[in-house]
């Protein structure tokens, strides 16, 4: 009997979205392949320990041959391109690298699909587009038709990847879709992003491990959702008969001050001002002031809706960081440090 198990290849599998998506696809009985880059990738052991059912393939978005090889080995029905230099602040410091990985990386993967799939139309493609494309926003809320005006090398590189995906769809008939995802967070979020920086610092302040939290511009507003909800939307896009582009967002925006209010309240601190400092080091050369997404197309066409609300998300992240930081403290106390 022919093997009907679906196969998926994920780039960026070591990130929060990659992990949630891998879990979702595993639950749906996919064979999951993950592209992993570099010698001694520090996150490799996390995947091997917690996701033993993922088959890791060595490769890099900057290396076309490795992408062709990964597609030939995995023969995926679905390819999710989540790999990127995704930290906006870093993209200002390393714009060329960002262009190469975040922008050209998508082109290489699309081109590899074109070559390996050979026009059979078997391999569907998901491109992780982003609300950073809207940048200096032309209208609020932002939807699929809102013009793009990116404000960082990251946003510009994502614009290239976005339009290249549309172009491969229109030129070669590849089932390629872009998810324009607004900020999405989780206990697996990297510590460099503002939500995790705040929740981990709040936990450390509560435990007496840190005195203050130093931030950049706290006037910006973001439409923050839960990453676990968003990967479901990615998957739904690739189950449609026709490829298309969709906004995934909550439809509610929050200032950073609200993130601070909720996070500090979780540890019983009502006035956070004495703990929070600002430093120009964390300011960006150009800022995205306000993002607010309109997810109505995803709701109507994909039946997708985010479940976790912002206060619940913050609660989940602070609780997780209290546990992690508490264990670290216990570890150092036991070692007599
Ligand atoms: O910044 C401000 C910062 O780095 C949010 C990525 O996943 O979402 C993310 O991009 C806001 C900005 O996320 C600090 O200036 C203040 O206004 O958490 P962030 P981001 O830049 O919105 C989009 C959708 C993506 O696609 C990206 O890949 O917070 N902010 N003080 C700070 N931000 C950071 N990181 N650190 C601070 O100390």
The CATH number for 199's domain is 3.90.25.10
| 201 in a structural domain | yes
Ligand 1 neighbourhood includes 92 CB (under 6 angstroms): no
- Å from CA of 214 to ligand 1 middle: 14
Pocket flag, ligand 1, residue 90 (CB < 6 Å): no
Cβ 78 under 6 angstroms from ligand 1: no
For residue 45, report the phi and psi dihedrals to the nearest 5 degrees: -65, -30
Q: 82 with 111, same domain?
A: yes
For residues 17 and 164, membership in a common domain is answered with yes
Q: In terms of domains, do 147 and 213 share one? A: no
The verdict on residue 298 lying in a domain is: no
Question: Does residue 32 lie within any of the structural domains?
Answer: yes
Q: Are residues 46 and 173 in the same domain?
A: yes
16 and 132 part of one domain: yes
Q: Pick the catalytic residue: 154, 168, 230, 246?
A: 154
Q: Please indicate, yes or no, whether residues 146 and 204 belong to a single structural domain of this protein.
A: no
Confirm whether 1 is domain-assigned. no
Q: At 153, which CATH number?
A: 3.40.50.720
Instruction: Extract long-range pairs of 26-34: CB within 8 Å, 24+ residues apart.
Output: 26/51, 26/53, 26/54, 28/235, 29/5, 30/5, 30/6, 30/78, 31/5, 31/6, 31/7, 31/55, 32/7, 32/8, 33/7, 33/8, 33/9, 33/57, 33/70, 33/73, 33/74, 33/76, 34/9, 34/10
Residues 214 and 72 in one domain: no
pLDDT per residue of the chain (337 residues) written in tens, 0 to 9: 567 999 999 999 999 999 999 999 999 999 999 999 978 898 999 999 999 999 999 999 999 999 999 999 999 999 999 999 999 999 999 999 999 999 999 999 999 999 999 989 999 999 999 999 999 999 999 999 999 999 999 999 999 999 999 999 999 999 999 999 999 999 999 999 999 999 999 999 999 999 999 999 999 999 999 999 999 999 999 999 999 999 999 999 999 999 999 999 999 999 999 999 999 999 999 999 999 999 999 999 999 999 999 999 999 999 999 999 999 877 776 665 4
Same domain, 231 and 272: no
Spatial neighbors of 293 by CB under 8 A, at least 6 apart, are 131, 141, 142, 143, 180, 182, 223, 247, 248, 249, 250, 251
Number of domains in the chain: 2
In a domain, 296, yes or no: no
Residue 278 near residue 216, CB atoms below 8 Å: yes
Predicted confidence at residue 334, as pLDDT, reads 67
Q: Which ligand 1 atom is nearest residue 182's CA?
A: 24
Q: Which domain holds residue 316?
A: 194-222+253-286+309-334
The structure's pTM equals 0.97
Same domain for 71 and 135, yes or no, is yes
277 and 158 share one domain: no
User: 53 with 163, same domain?
Assistant: yes
């Amino acid at each position: 009997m022919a093997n009907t198990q679906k196969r998926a290849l994920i780039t960026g599998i070591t990130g929060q979205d990659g992990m949630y998506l891998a879990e979702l696809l595993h639950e749906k009985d996919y064979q999951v392949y993950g592209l992993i880059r570099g010698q001694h990738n520090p996150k490799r052991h996390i995947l091997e320990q917690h996701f033993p059912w993922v088959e890791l393939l060595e490769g890099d978005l900057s290396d076309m041959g490795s992408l062709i090889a990964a597609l030939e080995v995995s023969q995926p029905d679905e390819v999710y391109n989540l790999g990127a230099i995704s930290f906006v602040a870093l993209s200002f410091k390393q714009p060329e690298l960002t262009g190469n990985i975040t922008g050209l990386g998508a082109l290489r993967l699309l081109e590899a699909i074109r070559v390996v799939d050979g026009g059979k139309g078997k391999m569907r493609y998901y491109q992780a587009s982003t609300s950073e494309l809207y940048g200096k926003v032309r209208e609020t809320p932002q939807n699929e038709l809102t013009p793009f005006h990116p404000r960082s090398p990251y946003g510009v590189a994502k614009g290239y990847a976005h339009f290249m995906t549309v172009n491969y769809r229109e030129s070669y008939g590849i089932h390629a879709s872009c998810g324009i995802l607004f900020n999405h967070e989780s206990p697996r979020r990297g510590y460099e992003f503002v939500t995790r920086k705040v929740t981990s610092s709040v936990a450390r302040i509560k435990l007496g491990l840190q005195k203050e939290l130093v931030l950049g511009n706290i006037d910006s507003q973001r439409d923050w959702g839960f990453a676990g909800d968003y990967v479901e939307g990615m998957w739904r896009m690739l189950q449609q008969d026709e490829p298309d582009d969709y906004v995934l967002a909550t439809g509610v925006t929050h200032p950073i001050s609200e993130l601070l209010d909720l996070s500090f309240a979780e540890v019983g601190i009502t006035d956070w001002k004495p703990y929070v400092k600002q430093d120009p080091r964390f300011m960006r050369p150009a800022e995205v002031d306000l993002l607010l997404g309109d997810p109505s197309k995803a709701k109507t066409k994909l039946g997708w809706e985010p479940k976790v609300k912002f206060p619940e998300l913050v609660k989940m992240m602070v609780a997780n960081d209290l546990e992690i930081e508490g264990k670290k403290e216990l570890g150092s106390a036991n070692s007599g440090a």
